[in-house]
């Protein structure tokens, strides 16, 4: 094909070769479906992951003598409910579960909210001393928890919070890991153009955070909430110091099970199963939403 312009020489334009689309996808038309090896590995991984929980169920439904027998039992029986009753009589597990739900839920909500706010500030806002403050926040991750136990206990004693749930909730409402995690996510996932568009429209910083930042950060917030809830639910060291057996969390209550010259392992396992059920129920109900949020963030990224 030639194009002739007035007063210029004739120019030949070479045709552009368009790539030929191949049907069937990449790698010789393979569809990318998982094969039998993949399913076998996934099945083995699932079985290995589920086995500790299944053994807890089996051990919690037998007596100490049956657990110590050779070979040990591999199927649960009806004694599980009797062991549940013994566990509830030996420790206030029902009250401990309610306390743990309140503590873990409050810590999760506070951590997600405050860490997202701080992560947004460190990622996208400009203010004096930003780098120094971020370095101090990250530096607190290197301080062992045991070093802060004595001054923290003295503080809650002065506030008369000993054996009260706020003594466990307030010190962990913000985590340095959560701040750093949200900052790293928002740096790459939140375009500056969206923030500038919000400012042009006259939105305040809080309105920009609520209407722009939160929808973008939702996948990371779901991951942080999951990790925070599990950490708060399984926390044992500080609740053991700040609370008593009269007002415990789940982990503190479980520490008082099966006490005696010969530990009652079946009762301990039954109580552990009771303390694990609320977490299993929560993730059974919200698992799809959490995984969906994570995958949505991965696709958008």
Is the pLDDT at 55 greater than 60? The verdict is yes
The Cβ of residue 136 has, within 10 Å, a number of other Cβ atoms equal to: 11
In a domain, 72, yes or no: no
Task: Quote the pLDDT of residue 293.
Answer: 58
In a domain, 51, yes or no: no
For residues 163 and 118, what is the distance between their CA atoms, to the nearest angstrom?
30
In a domain, 86, yes or no: no
In a domain, 30, yes or no: no
40-54 pLDDT, tens digit per residue, is 999 999 899 889 889
CATH (domain of 201)? 1.10.3720.10
For residues 41 and 96, what is the distance between their CA atoms, to the nearest angstrom?
38
From residue 251, alpha-carbon distances to 37, 55, 154, 223, 247 in Å are: 40, 19, 23, 23, 12
In a domain, 122, yes or no: yes
In a domain, 8, yes or no: no
242-274 pLDDT, tens digit per residue, is 988 888 999 888 887 866 667 788 888 888 888
Number of folded domains that form the chain: 1
Model pTM score: 0.78
In a domain, 128, yes or no: yes
């Amino acid at each position: 094909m030639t194009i002739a312009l007035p007063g210029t020489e004739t120019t030949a334009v070479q045709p552009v070769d368009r790539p030929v689309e191949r049907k069937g996808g990449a790698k010789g038309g393979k569809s990318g479906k998982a094969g039998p090896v993949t399913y076998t590995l996934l099945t083995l991984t699932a079985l290995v992951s589920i086995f500790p929980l299944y053994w807890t169920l089996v051990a919690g439904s037998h007596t100490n003598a049956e657990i110590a027998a050779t070979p040990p039992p591999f199927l649960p029986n009806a004694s599980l409910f009797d062991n549940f009753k013994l566990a509830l009589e030996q420790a206030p597990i029902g009250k401990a579960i309610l306390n743990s739900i309140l503590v873990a839920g409050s810590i999760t909500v506070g951590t997600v909210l405050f860490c997202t706010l701080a992560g947004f500030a460190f990622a996208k806002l400009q203010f004096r001393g930003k780098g120094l403050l971020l370095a101090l926040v990250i530096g607190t991750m290197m301080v062992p928890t045991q070093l802060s136990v004595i001054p923290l206990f003295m503080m809650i004693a002065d506030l008369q919070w000993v054996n009260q749930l706020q003594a466990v909730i307030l010190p962990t409402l913000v985590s340095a890991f959560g701040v750093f995690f949200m900052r790293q996510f928002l740096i790459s996932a939140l375009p500056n153009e969206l923030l500038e568009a919000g400012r042009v429209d006259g939105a305040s910083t809080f309105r920009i955070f609520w209407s722009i930042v939160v929808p973008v950060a939702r996948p990371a917030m779901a991951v942080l909430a999951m990790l925070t809830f599990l950490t708060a639910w399984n926390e044992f060291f500080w609740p053991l110091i700040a609370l008593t057996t009269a007002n415990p969390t789940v982990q503190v209550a479980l520490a008082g099970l099966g006490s005696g010259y010969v530990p009652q392992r079946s009762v301990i396992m039954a109580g552990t199963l009771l303390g694990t059920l609320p977490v299993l129920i929560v993730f059974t109900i919200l698992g799809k939403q959490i995984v969906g949020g994570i995958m949505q963030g991965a696709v958008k990224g």
